[in-house]
Structure 1
Amino acid sequence: MRNRKSHRSVRAIRTSDSVLPVQAGVVAALLVALTGCGITIPSDPDDTLGHAIGAELRIGIAVEPPLSEDGDPPRGPLPELAIEYAETLDASPVWSIGSEETLVEMLEQEKLDVALGNFSPDSPWSERAALSRPFTVDGADPAELVALMPLGENAMLSNFETFIDSTERAQ
């Protein structure tokens, strides 16, 4: 006579084994279907990166010598970083100068694509703006800075992080 418990546990394993390939197939089919729809990951719900490419990169600068100084255009290591980034997007920099709070408000109102200042990785603005991975520039104190971008605009954030990685500024 067979032991029913053993039979059931073997049967349960077989059922589980057959479900896994089906689930993987469903996930693969969904990914193929979404790719055909033009959905990319990471994405920008407001298409921040898409609007900047080949057009204008709206950059907010908090004037904080020696990192950045007021001028037309602003001067210093942070504006230089922003100009380099804009070049990778074939975009013209459009500058806004303001306090940290003003720049964060402008990000929330979709008036800026990126804000640069003496923002640290433990920035109090993290609930209102996306923070990039830490990076460094000449004259930075503390040694690590982050850029601020609109919340949810993950393609823009990812693109900026790829840029800082390529310039070997990432921490």
Structure 2
Amino acid sequence: MKALAASLLIVLAGCGAMPRDPEGTSEAIARSRQIRVGLVQGDSDFARPAAARLLRRLAHETGARPVLRAGSTETLFKQLERGDLDLVLAPLDPKSPWMIDVTPGPPLAATGQGEARIEYYPVLRNGENRWIMQVERIARTVAESGAEQ
């Protein structure tokens, strides 16, 4: 019985801070008070209001200010993978090969119909689950508030 209790304590101790960010994204944001955000250059005017709402809410909730960096999708996603960015805001095709290398959150905005439809996503580094959950929760709120307007 004592061995079972000891084993249970060991297992529970390992589950203390779930979900976690193995690479420490949430902790780095809290420490630096900055959210490093990549903005994909190009035709994303349709999503600008939703992106601004997301960044305002993230700043309010984390106490960190967004620091913006513009660039191409490929360049920014590579920086995201390396941990040089915390978030990328980008129009993304659901068939993009990047979809397995990054974690897209809920789309913030969309334009067009059918094959011409473009969706604008917050995109995050795979595995940073605490940060992903926080951004996804806020993104859903932002997308819902934008749909009501």
TM-score (norm 2): 0.74
* Aligned twin of 1:136: 108
Q: Which runs of 5+ in 2 are unaligned?
A: none
Task: Report the structure, 1 or 2, having the larger helix content.
Answer: 2
How far apart are 1:106 and its partner, in Å?
A: 0.8
* Aligned twin of 2:37: 59
Out of 12, 19, 44, the residue aligned to residue 42 of structure 1 is 19
Q: Which runs of 5+ in 1 are unaligned?
A: 1-21, 69-75
* Aligned twin of 1:109: 82
Equivalence map 1:21-36=2 (5 Å)? 28-35=8-15
Matched residue count = 137
Higher RCO (CA < 8 A, seq sep 6+) = 2
Task: Report the structure, 1 or 2, having the larger strand content.
Answer: 2
Equivalence map 1:1-171=2 (5 Å)? 28-35=8-15, 39-53=16-30, 55-63=33-41, 64-67=43-46, 76-80=48-52, 81-132=54-105, 134-137=106-109, 140-141=111-112, 142=117, 144-167=119-142, 169=144
One-letter code of the match for 1:59? V
In structure 2, do the counterparts of structure 1 residues 140 and 112 end up closer, same or farther at CA, with 3 Å as the change threshold? farther
- Structure-2 separation of matches of 1:43 and 1:108: 17
How far apart are 1:140 and its partner, in Å?
A: 3.9
In structure 2, do the counterparts of structure 1 residues 48 and 130 end up closer, same or farther at CA, with 3 Å as the change threshold? same
How far apart are 1:84 and its partner, in Å?
A: 2.6
In structure 2, do the counterparts of structure 1 residues 130 and 33 end up closer, same or farther at CA, with 3 Å as the change threshold? same
Higher mean alpha-carbon deviation, 100-109 vs 78-87, is at 78-87
How far apart are 1:143 and its partner, in Å?
A: 6.7
Q: Deviations over 1:11-68 (max 9, x none)?
A: xxxxxxxxxxx98x67743443225xxx411111111011113600000111233146
Whether the 8 Å contact between 1:86 and 1:93 is mirrored in structure 2 is yes
Q: Deviations over 1:111-133 (max 9, x none)?
A: 1000011124443212221222x
What SS is found at the alignment partner of 2:91? coil
Query: RMSD over aligned Cα, in angstroms?
Result: 3.0
Quick check: which has more Rg, 1 or 2? 1
